[in-house]
Amino acid sequence: MRILICEDSGLIRDGLIRILEDSQHTVVAALADTHRLDDAVVEDAPDLVILDVRLPPTFTDEGIRAAIRLRARDPRLPILVLSQYVEERYATDLIASSSGGLGYLLKDRVTDVADFLESAATVAAGGTVLDPEVVSQLLTRRRQDSRFDRLTDRERETLALMAQGRSNQAIARALHISEGSVEKHISAVFTKLDLDQDAAGNRRVLAVLAHLDATS
């Protein structure tokens, strides 16, 4: 897999390069800011872009704005955003503007190399991976939505795991229930939140979170 990194911390940038290259991936560019990002994406045609949320010069939302801009130009470009802390507003902005091939992880997750590499592969393949802490904050804040109150505890657990990019099989293992039960919970979630069911799981997760955000 060809990967482009945009991370201002030299230590983290070098660590990402080492992790990815040790796993037989190719880092086509490693940038410290967004100055050449757009050109590098065009020239190097990466399979995945890994971006920090906060980048020079202001260290506020350069990474998120760059991610949204890149996806506007190429909606199929997979992007994995890394953040030092849970920054709910930025996560919401990115989620609302995207439809798969998207990841938002806390940097602490990189230390679990196997999980990080799995997340990168999932995003590159068009999947969605959201950090459990991000999901927890998004869903907790939106409990003021009366429709969210319709969900049972098990349905909320299912929704949170869906948002993390888990497959039905993985959700079943995590909750110690059958896949058939998972399917019933997912169906109930969409019915109670007034969302049309979609066969594409990634768009389904994004639609749920974006819809909850829009009505919070």
pLDDT reading at 16 higher than 90 = yes
Same domain, 39 and 67: yes
pLDDT reading at 163 higher than 80 = no
pLDDT reading at 94 higher than 50 = yes
Closest CA to 214 of 191, 194, 185: 194
Quick one: pLDDT band at residue 131, thresholds 50, 70, 90?
confident
Last residue of a domain, one of 110, 130, 150: 130
pLDDT reading at 141 higher than 80 = no
pLDDT for position 64? 86
State the Cα–Cα distance between residues 180 and 19, nearest whole angstrom.
37
Query: Is-contact 163 135, C-beta < 8 A?
Result: yes
State the Cα–Cα distance between residues 26 and 21, nearest whole angstrom.
6
7 Cβ contact partners less than 8 Å away, ≥ 6 residues apart: 13, 16, 30, 31, 32, 50, 51, 52, 55, 82
To the nearest whole number, what is the mean pLDDT of the chain? 84
Last residue of a domain, one of 130, 149, 177: 130
Same domain, 117 and 156: no
Structural domains of the chain, count: 2
State the Cα–Cα distance between residues 26 and 151, nearest whole angstrom.
44
Which whole number is the average pLDDT over 78-103? 77
* Displacement of CA 99 from its chain's centroid (Å): 10
pTM of the model: 0.73
pLDDT for position 199? 47
- Residue 54 φ/ψ, nearest 5 degrees: -105, 115
